[in-house]
Structure 1
Amino acid sequence: MRIAVAYDCLFPFSKGGGERQYRVFAEEFAAAGHQVTYLTRKQWDSAAPQVDGLDIEVISTERELYDAQGNRKLGPAVKFATGLFAHLARNRGRYDAVLVSATPATNVPAARAALLGTRTVLAVDWLEVWRPEQWLEYSGPVAGRVANVIQWLAVKSSSLASCHSQLNARRLVELRLRSAPIVSPGLIDGQGGGEPSLTAGEPPTVVYVGRHIPDKRVEALPAAIAHARKSIPDLKCTIFGEGQTSAAIQAEIARLGLQEVIATPGFVDQAVLDEGMRSAAVLVNPSQREGYGLVVVESCALGTPVVLVNGEDNASVELVEDGVNGKVAASVRPEVLGEAIVEVVSAGAPLRKTTAEWFDEARRTKTVRAAAAQILGRIEQAVAKA
């Protein structure tokens, strides 16, 4: 088959779970013998990169996706959707199937409109499905309502849809998706960053890995660390990454006098990051919104248990089994999150052993390649019927 994969980011020029996911999807489709074109946004200064098995085509040149608060801007989303519509309209009949990311949702009605009247199968992959209240909080009263309507239109345009958590599957059904969604078995790459460590380094260290944006609530970590140190006085913390809330995080560290306790090295090489996670006593992610939570898997691959925070928009909690590979805290209040940290750090080697065992089982059945194969199978069936 001739398949297009459409997403406005390409790994490693943009880093994140979605970026890695769609690149692997495209590579797996190509490995299965199909001709694959990756439609994306220009994120490099020279010629388009060469990727084995893939044709990379630029359909948008917008460089900045996010505003100062770390939110996706409407302009780049509209420009990418416009570029996607134009490309597919010019190339009607070129593709047997198009897999389009619903992040942002503007991609979906654009692709559907361009493909009307063709036999091309449109598959839509949902990284996240948002509640109306989320859109209002994220984009404001006007743009939020518009975005919510666009998401509704995108769901109605998704005759073949996939997602990666039960949370998002339920939301697609509630929005009256036209067919049962494909719920992927997982997004684990099956490799990890090396062998897991069954003992944590000394002194015990908490790590955070990811962008610093409001939804991640990283600024809640310093107070939780201060509380946990009442029980574990030598506890340290390393907060990897950068972003819009970095200044607020530094201010909170200073307010609590934790400059010698909490390190903030920013973004680092993958090898440094892997070693930081492997030697840590626990990885903590206080995020209120996750579509999947790849960092949870990456931590467990290294034997390091996790602490997450429960929330109605946090699908990553589906990856945690309390007492097996970590704990889910009820809130980010310092005493609640701090006590969860104490519990996991104090569990020591036995919890690290079950964490490594959890990952060892998961990487055999819940891989990103298994998800790609599942989606490809449904696409092949749909194309055969078209």
Structure 2
Amino acid sequence: MTDSLEPFNTGGKEARYAALLPRLRQHGIDVHVHTMRWWGDAPVPQVPAGTLHALCPRISLYAGSRRSIWQAVVFAASTLRMLGRRFDVLEADAIPFVQLFPLKLVTVVRRKRLVVTWHEVWGRDYWVDYLGPLGRVAAALERLAASLPDHVVAASTGTADRLVDLGVPRERLTAVPNGVDAAEIEAAVPAADAADVLCVGRLLANKNVDVLVDAVALLRERGRRVTATVIGTGPERERLAAQVERLGLGDQVRLLEPLEQRLDVLGAMKSARVLAFPTVREGFGMVALEALACGTPVVTTDHPDNHARHLIVPGVNGYVCGLGATALADALTQALDNADGLREGALATGRDNSWDALAATLAKVLVA
């Protein structure tokens, strides 16, 4: 149960489901994905994740730069259709978590287990920053929603710890972090148009790609010309394009639409010298892990809501820095100067995370 999946939309949770769900078949699990009608009036497409079923029409996930409250409410209401659909266990994506309330009703009525994958915990401070006074209500709902599942799958150990802080008992928690496909990484061919610094992901305010652009400008002032490629789309794209133009960085910073093939994204990671990941909110950091698996060191922030920082051992596979152009420019300088030496540490991090082993753990949770 998720409102978004590949190939219709890209992102960390979408990539996670695209990797894990097909592998569940190896453990005797028949996967049916209930989502929005992303395909419109066309015939239901076949996707590797499983058999698709529409719950409601496709509604934009975002209203401006924020997640759409209307979309969340409509999708949540549509999940009541599961009262009449067949399933043995219902696994739900926690985002945007409003749907967990009707889904709890569905599973109680149907006497089935509700397993929820929790990608990240926002908490009261972030909710208030995001929504203002209304954020206090949202934070209370998040805490209540976390109490609903029969079992919670946390996308990182950091998220698991924060769920315990919300009141989820440890015995109802299993950490199943994100992983990489070693064969897919091996098959990716480095891109011909290599950049010094690569940034990949949704162009949202919390990703702070504008800080990367400012850091490139600062390095230019210091006499160091650094090229950066940004791959992604989102509400911040026009503002970033204007920023690049205003700073006269058109020959150093490229903004590219999402690449259609994952191998092309991995190829871009392989060819870049450093991946910049200046986010302040990340439940795990799939992009960071994939870059490390490609042998590309990562620079990310030390913000407490950025769990990608736990993947980084400073000076071994990348660097962690404060949020700001100066701090990011300094960390990028270190990473670029030591990129070759950081490569082995990056590759070692990638080798420790296998999707096959993670799928086996998830399968045990689902059939318990």
CA distance, structure 2, for counterparts of residue 115 and residue 284 of structure 1: 42
Q: CA deviation at 1:200?
A: 11
Structure 2 counterpart of 1:58: 54
CA separation of 1:348 and 1:20: change in aligned 2, threshold 3 A: closer
Structure 1 counterpart of 2:209: 218
**Which among 252, 255, 261 is matched to residue 246 of structure 2?**
255
Q: What is the identity, as a one-letter code, of the residue corresponding to 1:371?
A: L
CA distance, structure 2, for counterparts of residue 33 and residue 375 of structure 1: 12
**Which among 203, 206, 209 is matched to residue 197 of structure 2?**
206
CA separation of 1:193 and 1:83: change in aligned 2, threshold 3 A: same
CA distance, structure 2, for counterparts of residue 50 and residue 282 of structure 1: 36
CA separation of 1:62 and 1:314: change in aligned 2, threshold 3 A: same
Q: How does 1:143-158 map to 2 (within 5 A)?
A: 144-158=135-149
Structure 2 counterpart of 1:240: 231
CA distance, structure 2, for counterparts of residue 53 and residue 169 of structure 1: 25
Q: What is the identity, as a one-letter code, of the residue corresponding to 1:315?
A: H
Over residues 11-45 of structure 1, what are the superposed CA-to-partner deviations in whole Å (9 max), with x where a residue is unaligned? 11111121122233332222322232111111113
**Do the aligned residues in 1 keep the contact of 2:194 with 2:272 (CA within 8 Å)?**
no
**Which among 317, 323, 327 is matched to residue 309 of structure 2?**
317
Q: What is the identity, as a one-letter code, of the residue corresponding to 2:52?
A: I
Structure 2 counterpart of 1:3: none
CA distance, structure 2, for counterparts of residue 222 and residue 52 of structure 1: 37
Over residues 80-105 of structure 1, what are the superposed CA-to-partner deviations in whole Å (9 max), with x where a residue is unaligned? 12111222x223xx322111111111
SS of 2:47's equivalent?
coil
> Which structure 1 segments of 5+ residues have no match?
1-5, 382-386
When structure 1 is superposed on structure 2, of 249-258 and 287-296 the one drifting more is: 249-258
**Do the aligned residues in 1 keep the contact of 2:191 with 2:267 (CA within 8 Å)?**
no
Q: What is the identity, as a one-letter code, of the residue corresponding to 1:58?
A: A
**Which among 279, 284, 292 is matched to residue 287 of structure 1?**
279
Over residues 39-64 of structure 1, what are the superposed CA-to-partner deviations in whole Å (9 max), with x where a residue is unaligned? 11111131111236832111111321
**Do the aligned residues in 1 keep the contact of 2:219 with 2:225 (CA within 8 Å)?**
no
When structure 1 is superposed on structure 2, of 131-140 and 292-301 the one drifting more is: 131-140
CA separation of 1:112 and 1:13: change in aligned 2, threshold 3 A: same
Structure 2 counterpart of 1:68: 64
Q: CA deviation at 1:113?
A: 0.8
**Do the aligned residues in 2 keep the contact of 1:167 with 1:315 (CA within 8 Å)?**
yes
What's the TM-score once normalised by structure 2's chain length?
0.91
CA distance, structure 2, for counterparts of residue 186 and residue 323 of structure 1: 23
**Which among 297, 301, 306 is matched to residue 298 of structure 2?**
306
Q: What is the identity, as a one-letter code, of the residue corresponding to 1:56?
A: L
**Which among 147, 152, 156 is matched to residue 161 of structure 1?**
152
1:343 aligns with 2:343: no
Q: What is the identity, as a one-letter code, of the residue corresponding to 1:295?
A: V
> Which structure 2 segments of 5+ residues have no match?
none
Q: How many residues align?
A: 365
Over residues 272-321 of structure 1, what are the superposed CA-to-partner deviations in whole Å (9 max), with x where a residue is unaligned? 43333222111101111111111112212222111001101101111111
CA distance, structure 2, for counterparts of residue 309 and residue 14 of structure 1: 26
Q: CA deviation at 1:179?
A: 4.3
Aligned CA-pair RMSD: 2.4
**Do the aligned residues in 2 keep the contact of 1:207 with 1:282 (CA within 8 Å)?**
yes
CA separation of 1:118 and 1:259: change in aligned 2, threshold 3 A: closer
What's the TM-score once normalised by structure 1's chain length?
0.87
CA distance, structure 2, for counterparts of residue 249 and residue 323 of structure 1: 30
CA distance, structure 1, for counterparts of residue 49 and residue 274 of structure 2: 38
**Do the aligned residues in 1 keep the contact of 2:119 with 2:283 (CA within 8 Å)?**
yes
**Do the aligned residues in 2 keep the contact of 1:307 with 1:341 (CA within 8 Å)?**
yes
**Do the aligned residues in 2 keep the contact of 1:195 with 1:302 (CA within 8 Å)?**
no
1:20 aligns with 2:15: yes
CA separation of 1:15 and 1:166: change in aligned 2, threshold 3 A: same
Q: What is the identity, as a one-letter code, of the residue corresponding to 1:327?
A: Y
Structure 2 counterpart of 1:377: 364
CA separation of 1:128 and 1:53: change in aligned 2, threshold 3 A: closer
Over residues 205-236 of structure 1, what are the superposed CA-to-partner deviations in whole Å (9 max), with x where a residue is unaligned? 11111121111111111221123345662321
Identity of paired residues, percent? 28
CA distance, structure 2, for counterparts of residue 23 and residue 257 of structure 1: 39
Structure 2 counterpart of 1:264: 255
1:90 aligns with 2:77: no
Q: CA deviation at 1:162?
A: 1.0
**Do the aligned residues in 2 keep the contact of 1:123 with 1:161 (CA within 8 Å)?**
yes
Q: What is the identity, as a one-letter code, of the residue corresponding to 2:327?
A: V
